[in-house]
Amino acid sequence: MTDQAASAATRTPYEPHFTTIAEGSLGLDDHEAIAAMLSRAFPDYAHWYQGPRSWAGMQPELRVVARSGEIVVAHAGVRRQFVTVGETDLLVGCVGMVAVSPILQGTGLGGQLLRLVDAALDHLAVPFGALEAAERVQPFYLKHGWELLEGVTGHYNDFTADGASTLVSSDSGWLIRPGNVVRPDWPAGDLHWNGQLV
């Protein structure tokens, strides 16, 4: 029996089970199941996550997904992107759509999710993970090894499902997760995504 089969045999049917999966390996059913959870976890953005559209801005390249049976109960997306910080071009793993199903929030799934996001960032060999988070949720990331970039303004193209993507700027809420590969110091200056975020 493989390790995966042995672990599946000892799990209770509805115990959340995490996998990390490449975007190209997802089927239509997977996209629909992810979108259904994201629309519940982000009710203000539910209009993005319709049917099989399981992303709002940049489509990720890797997903960390937890399922209970067939139901998706936790999710994060990661995509490698070059950003410009000040005068420096820098590879980052953009992390987004981090969410736990509302009925399971506060049970520790979010922490497990971020540990697997760390592993995904290591797998992608990026020097930094990067994301934007609202003030209310920043303590969650800080507790799990993310660092707040003080005094940094980030510029990115707004999410759009149906029209022109305008440039928006945000002068707070940018967090980074130093990776385990050899990396430079985070450069000084504004953060230019030159496109959308995951």
Ligand X SMILES: CC(C)(COP(=O)(O)OP(=O)(O)OC[C@H]1O[C@@H](n2cnc3c(N)ncnc32)[C@H](O)[C@@H]1OP(=O)(O)O)[C@@H](O)C(=O)NCCC(=O)NCCS
Q: Which of residues 153-182 bind ligand X (CB under 6 A)?
A: none
State yes or no: residue 133 binds ligand X (CB under 6 A). yes
How many CB atoms lie under 10 A from the CB of residue 113? 23
Phi, psi (deg, nearest 5) at residue 22: -70, 145
Encoded one letter per residue, x for contact with ligand X by CB under 6 A and - for no contact, window 8-47 reads ---------------------------------xx-----
| Interacting span for ligand X (CB under 6 A) from 12-20, 21-29, 133-141, 190-198 | 133-141
Contact between 139 and ligand X per CB under 6 A:
yes
Rounded distance, CA 144 to CA 147, Å? 9
- Report which secondary-structure segment, H or E, holds 80: strand 71-85
Q: Which part of the chain contacts ligand X (CB under 6 A), choosing from 47-55, 86-94, 99-107, 158-166?
A: 99-107
Identity of the residue numbered 31: H
Q: Which two tokens stand for residue 97?
A: 């759509």
* Span of 11-19, 45-53, 55-63, 98-106 interacting with ligand X by CB under 6 A: 98-106
Q: Which two tokens stand for residue 198?
A: 């995951």
| Complex with ligand X: residue 87 or 132, whichever CB lies closer | 132
- Dig out the tokens for 180 from the structure: 């385990």
Q: Which amino acid is at 76?
A: A
- DSSP secondary structure letter of residue 103: G
Question: Does the footprint of ligand X cover residue 115 (CB under 6 A)?
Answer: no
**Is the CB of 140 or the CB of 159 nearer to ligand X?**
140
- Binding residue for ligand X, selected from 33, 65, 92, 100, defined by CB under 6 A: 100
Residue 111 CB neighbours (<10 A): 12
Identify residue 125 by its one-letter amino acid code.
A
Query: Residues interacting with ligand X, by CB under 6 A?
Result: 41-42, 98-100, 105-111, 133, 136-137, 139-140, 143
